[in-house]
Amino acid sequence: MIKTARAAGFRQPAEWTEHAACWVAWPSDAELWPALASVQSSFATMCRAIGSATNGRSGERLEVLVRDDAARATAEQALAGLDARFHVAAFGDIWMRDIAPVFLTNAKGELASVRFVFNGWGGKYVYPGDELIGERVQTLLGLPSFATDLVCEGGALECDGAGLCMTTREVALNPNRNPGRSELEVERALLEALGADRVVWVDRGLLNDHTDGHIDNTARFVGAGRVLCMTPADASDPNAAALREIERTLNAARLDVTTITSPGLVLGRDGKPLPASYLNFYIANASVVVPTFGSPHDDTALASLQALFPARTVRGVPAKVLLEEGGTVHCITQQQPAVQALQIGA
């Protein structure tokens, strides 16, 4: 019988612990990304923020999946000068937070990973190859690996490395992912898969979120038991009621709650509100990489986050072009914690 990660002594560490690398997938499909040149530019800006050293801290190595040799050549040119390794792999889209495995560590400093069942965000966006990437990355690294029969995505999960896990009922209990499973059953599966001790439940996410409401758009840990959420920017904020509800839920869960202002109303090409969130940031070794949306609240959010992460440089990345197709910075990254040296296959 295969042990669970928790039984084997592994858990997901906090994102602010040191990383050996960041896993990403190069955008090269013009059908999925109509504004491909702008998307690649935003993606490269993000990668440079992650890979660059600042304030005496080292940047992160980038492990970059590319679809084919042509995509590899383009990616190598765009990311020239960075510590990057490229791996040809079949994948559908670039949402590595959701399709890559979740990395785990134990008290001995060893690395492992867990792979959730991926079903295209409840069957809404099914792209050939995405369901195989978790196993592909595990194979490249040659890691001890765990699997669970729970259908979920990495963006739906947030851990503080000290025993707490957050998720939303709108995703983890959705019939399009785990039909017939009770909240208690899903909670037990999450604890076993992530090595956590307690699940904090938030009811819902943001309006028009392609994912049904991922937690990394609504609440993020910034310390052990310390959580960051957003307050409505103004009366026009399409998520005003949801944001207030989320803050109340987190306070009721006895967490240390800090808030920043939301981006407010950000409209997409179709004139509908986008699920814009400053919380979809990536905590890199030397920086905190934050999506921006051309909102009047961008600068305020960057300043607030800089105050929360004084040892890192907060960098904004124009991300509206990414969000038009489903997500931003945190959605397209997956951190690999720093442990002993690993030999990665080609």
Domains of the chain: 10-337 (3.75.10.10)
d(CA 181, CA 185): 6
Residue 225 clears pLDDT 50, i.e. is over it? yes
Residue 345 clears pLDDT 90, i.e. is over it? no
d(CA 30, CA 222): 36
Residue 23 clears pLDDT 60, i.e. is over it? yes
φ, ψ at 65 (rounded to 5°): -85, 135
Is 331 part of the annotated catalytic residue set? yes
Residue 141 clears pLDDT 50, i.e. is over it? yes
Render pLDDT for 252-300 as a digit per residue (tens, 0 to 9). 999 999 999 999 999 999 999 999 999 999 999 999 999 999 999 999 9
Share of the chain above pLDDT 70, in %: 97
What pLDDT shows up at residue 143?
A: 86
* Residue labelled with tokens 């490229």: 86
Of residues 346 and 98, more confidence is placed in 98
Closest by CA to 47, choosing from 265, 340, 329, is 329
d(CA 225, CA 159): 10
CA atoms within 13 A on the CB side of 147: 9
Render pLDDT for 68-108 as a digit per residue (tens, 0 to 9). 999 999 999 999 999 999 999 999 999 999 999 999 999 99
What pLDDT shows up at residue 346?
A: 42
Tell me the helix, strand and coil percentages in the chain, rounded to 5. Answer: 30, 25, 45
Query: Nearest 10 degrees: CA dihedral of 126, 132, 134, 140?
Result: -150
Of residues 344 and 56, more confidence is placed in 56
d(CA 281, CA 128): 27
Under the banding of pLDDT at 50, 70 and 90, the label for residue 126 is very high
Q: Which of 22, 152, 159, 331 is catalytic?
A: 331
